[in-house]
Structure formats: structure tokens, C-alpha cells
Structure 1
Amino acid sequence: MTTPGESFPKPPTRAPDVHDDFSSPTLRSDLWVPDYLPHWTTPERSRARYEMTGASGLRLLIEHDQLDWREEDAPLRVSNLQTGVFSGPVGSERGTHRHRPDGLQVRAETPERMLWAPASGHIDITVSASLNDGCMLAAWLVGAENLSPQHSGEICIFEIDATAIDPHETRVRCGVKAHGDDSLVTDMVEVNVPVDASRPHTWSVIWGPKGTLIGCEGVVVKRSAQAPDYPMLLMLDLFEVGPRSTAEGVYPKSAFIHSVRGWGGPVQ
């Protein structure tokens, strides 16, 4: 339960373990995998579309010729950054974020890369969500599953649909999803936050032995007594769900990731 207007805890005073404002001309390969769960599909379908804009950060794109993530999931296109990846061999069911029980088998074996996978910590993410039809911007922490398929829980920091944004407030989904982790219970909420999410704003999460805390612009919006206690990967995603737009000039659809700061380890 949250208290209205409760202040979100300040970040640790030490320097962050990771900090990216995306001001470099190229994406950091030591931190980001620019593919959406590539092991469940094929490279041309998982690969992110994006551009480095300099001072404005990274612009995630959905382009008109972008393929559906999987043919079976059409219509669904996505551009994603994630801080690691893991899969078993082709044909197996082992891999990061096997988020549903039907039909996910490894199609592209992906060597394990744990670029940043803390089991607890504090993260601040500054974004501008998309106003384009059919789009959703999301940030998730998902169990890496490299140590066990039971390590599959998720902290949904935010899911923001374009249709849920107006100039004065935005309707957002956030919370904890159990997926295949039977030690967790799914605990998701929809909340109104008093921001225009199409403009730069900051989301924060703390997770660890005391549970999970999610905040927006320095105010707590969701508290849960649960928290996964195994390596978690950060995923930043722009989705387009539904048929492609036919109006001329609609594409690319886009959202911005302005900065990410993260501290691993106990911070509560």
C-alpha cells in the first residue's frame, strides 16, 4: 500500500554502477544488446531500430518496413535494448524471459551475455513516451534465467500506451509479474501519474529483501512486499501493436530514452 504523495527515496550517494545518457555517437556494446529476446525469433525480426540523437538521447524507432517480432505474434513490432541475453540450444525452451507457456522455443541460439544483471538495486530511467497510434513504451526488469528457469519473475517499472497520455496525467501499468516463478504472485496495478508522459520524465525502482518500490518523478506509485532475488536484466522497449498504419508520413514511430542510471546491490 502506498501513501499519497509519498516521496521516493533518493539514490545512493556513491557513483552509479552504470550510467548512460546516450550522448555517444554509437550505442554502448558493453551495456546494451539491441535485440528483443533474439533467441525466440530470428535476427532480422529481433533487431532494434534506433538512432543516436546526441543531446536528446536515444530514439527508439518503429519503421514501416519493420518485420513482426515473430510471424506467429503478428501484428507486433518492437525495438528494444536489454542489458544481457541467454538461451539454450536451438529447439529448447531455455532462455531469458520465456514469458508465456505456448510456442516459445529457441530459434537462434544466443551465447550468454550478462552485461549488467543485478539481483537487487536502484535504477532511474528518464524517457519520453510515444504518442503514435498503436505504440507502447515499457521498462522491465526480467529474470535472466541463466541459472534456473525458475528465475523468471518480472518487475514492470512502467508500461505506457500512447492512448493513455494527455497533457495533465498519464495512465500507467506497473508492478510485479510472477511468470514461471512460483515464489511470486502477480501484483500489477494501473495508476494515474500527474505527468505528460510524452515529455521527459523519470521513473525509479528499488528492489531487494524489503520488497519492490516503483516511483515516478520522485513520488512512490507502487509498493510490493515481493522482489525477485536473482540476476535481473533491464529491458527498454517500444512496441507497435496492431496493423501497420497506412497514412503517409506516419513512420517512423518513436520514443526517447534520455538516460539510465543504475546501482546494484543492497540500497534499501
Structure 2
Amino acid sequence: MDLRFDGPDLDTSTWLPHYLPAWSSRAATVAAYRLDDGALVLEVPVDHPVWCPGDHDPPLRVSGLQTGSFSGPVGSTRGQQRFREGQTVREEQPRFEGWLPSGGRVAITCAMWLSPRSMAALWLSGFEDDPAQEQCGELCVVEVFGRSLGPDDAPSAEVGVGVKAFRDPALTQDFDAPRLPIDVTTPHTYAVEWDAAEAVFSVDDVVVRRCARPPTYPLQLMLAVFDFPRWSQGDDDHLVPRLRVSRVGD
């Protein structure tokens, strides 16, 4: 699949422009995005609301898209990527299957503008529609925190990649963030290629990590940029983290 952003509007048959709305609502989780000269731009404006206020710690603001969505009824615990024990659905979500790969290759070409209080990421997370199994593991294709960036005169970044097991007993946590000599404000291609034996993570076609026995159940793409107000340094509330994506595909 080749997901480009050269149309007049976002392809909502593939992308849902909300971030985990079951724990909040669609109205409260609308992504701030635009299509600009063949690219998707995700950002967190200064007036963007806090996500799940009073419930998620630390407080965060997020603009995110996802290629799958599902939940049980209001009051149930059946939802995706729940972040605390006993969490219940606040708004039931219809089943949405935009792109749910279970193997193969997923790559993103993107640039990021981040401050020490923000981050951007693409990860693949279990669809979690089977209540009998904890199919909630993740493949992190790229995760970059602004506070991990090197100085302007020697650009570098800690690039998070690997398997996050979460509650899936069949997986082993295998995640790291090697420092790479790249400037994330220029476009780079981050990718994972996986089957039942191994997941291979690369940056610009150079392998940076291999992880054994990754998840091979249906995974949805999660693409997002985050702001963490608690990490403020006192004079940065005007900053707008931004992620510019020219392509997502296999």
C-alpha cells in the first residue's frame, strides 16, 4: 500500500483523524492537520486541548491519525491502548479498518520540528478486538523526543525503535533509542519489515535494530505529534511541534 497525501482531502477510508477517541470522544480528539503541497502536516497548536484531562498522567496534547479503531460499549473495558487499570470506554467507537497489516513492510518519510517538551512517532499497535487475548503489542517504527536532539552544529537524535510488549504475554520487551547522526528537520525514511521470526528496523535503508518474534496479529498504524505541558521550561508555550509526512507505505 502506498499512502500519499497529494489529494485535496485526507483519505478517511484509510485514516481516522482522531487519537484513541474511545477514552474521550471524537469531538475532543480531532487532529490538527492540513495537506500542504503533497504532504500531511500534523501539529499541536497553542490552543489545542489536553487529551483526557484529569485522567492521563502526564498531561499531554496530541494530534494523531490512526488506520484502525474499535471499542466495546460505554462503560466496558474493551478499547485500544488503555493506559490504566480499570479504564472504561466513554464513547463507543464503530469498527474501522483502514489498514491493518500483520506482516511485511511499513515505512514513513517525514521531517519533524520539536522542542524539549514535544515528540513525534509512528507505531503499529494491536487492533485489540478479541477480548480473549491481549493482542496489544506494538512495533515502534520511529519515536523521537525533542529533548533527545543534539545541538544545531552537530545534529543527532535518539531514534526509538523496537517491540513494546505492554500486556501481551507472548511478547518480550525489546526497545531501544540509539543515537543517530541525523537532522530530523530534514526528511528521512524510517521503516520496519517483519514476519513471525523477526522485525528489522531501519533508517534511510540502514538497519539499526533487529527484534525476534514480533507480533503478527493485525496492527493499526498510529501517527502522532505530542506536546507535554508539564515539561515546559517557562518560556515555550508559544512553540508548535510539527510533523510533516510525505509518504507512508510498504
Q: Among 127, 135, 146, which residue is 2:118 paired with?
A: 135
Is the Cα contact below 8 Å between 1:142 and 1:154 reproduced in 2? yes
Identity of aligned residues (%): 34
Contact 1:193 1:216 in 2 (8 A): no
Q: What RMSD, in angstroms, separates the aligned Cα atoms of the two structures? A: 1.9
Aligned partner of residue 250 in structure 1, secondary structure: coil
Q: Which amino acid aligns with 2:222?
A: M
Amino acid paired to 2:98: L
Q: Aligned in 2, Cα 1:70/1:103: closer, same or farther, shift over 3 Å?
A: farther
CA contact (8 A) 1:90 1:107 kept: yes
- Identify the residue that residue 48 of structure 2 maps to in structure 1: 66
Distance in 2 (CA, whole Å) between partners of 1:103 and 1:63 is: 31
**How far apart in 1 are the matches of 2:237 and 2:143?**
26
Following superposition, the deviation at residue 173 of structure 1 comes to: 1.6
What's the CA shift for 1:194? 2.2
Match of 1:214 in 2: 201
Superposition deviation, residue 168 in structure 1:
3.1
* Counterpart among 175, 178, 191 of residue 178 in structure 2: 191
1:96-146 CA distances to partner (integer Å, 9 max, x unpaired)?
222x34352111100111111111110110011222341100111000011
- Find the counterpart in structure 2 of residue 165 from structure 1: 149
Any idea what SS the aligned residue of 2:28 has?
helix
Find the aligned partners of 2:243 and 2:6 in 1 and give their Cα distance.
Answer: 16
1:226 aligns with 2:210: no
Task: Give, in whole Å, the separation in 2 of the partners of 1:182 and 1:202.
Answer: 31
Bigger mean CA offset, 63-72 vs 128-137: 128-137
Q: What residue identity is the alignment partner of 1:22?
A: F
Distance 1:44 1:133, change over 3 A: farther
Q: Distance in 1 between matches of 2:196 and 2:233?
A: 45
Is 1:86 matched with 2:78?
no
Contact 2:226 2:241 in 1 (8 A): no
Q: State the one-letter code of the partner of 2:180.
A: V
Q: Secondary structure at the match of 1:235?
A: strand
Query: What residue is the counterpart of 2:36 in the other structure?
Result: 53
CA deviation profile, 1:133-189 (whole Å, cap 9, x unmatched): 411001110000113441111111121011222353211221111112100111111
Instruction: Give the total of aligned pairs.
Output: 243
Distance in 1 (CA, whole Å) between partners of 2:126 and 2:176 is 20
Contact 1:19/1:261 (CA < 8 Å) preserved in 2? yes
Residues 61-92 of structure 1: CA distance to partner in whole angstroms, max 9, x if unpaired?
Answer: 10122111101225200001110101001111
CA 1:247–1:52: 2 relative to 1, 3 Å: farther
Distance 1:179 1:248 in 2: 32
Task: Compute the TM-score of the two structures, normalised by the length of structure 1.
Answer: 0.85
Distance (Å, rounded) in 2 between the aligned partners of 1:238 and 1:69: 12
Deviation at 1:252, TM superposition (A): 3.6
Q: Which runs of 4+ in 1 moved over 3 A?
A: 243-249
Q: 1:103 to 1:240 in 2, by over 3 A?
A: farther
Deviates more, 1:164-173 or 1:27-36: 164-173
> Is this contact kept in 2: 1:139–1:237, CA < 8 A?
yes
Alignment map for 1:1-268 (pairs within 5 Å): 18-55=1-38, 57-71=39-53, 72-73=55-56, 75-98=59-82, 100-148=83-131, 149-166=133-150, 167-243=154-230, 250-262=238-250
Unmatched tracts of structure 2, length 5 or more: none
Question: Partners of 1:231 and 1:88 in 2: how far apart?
Answer: 18
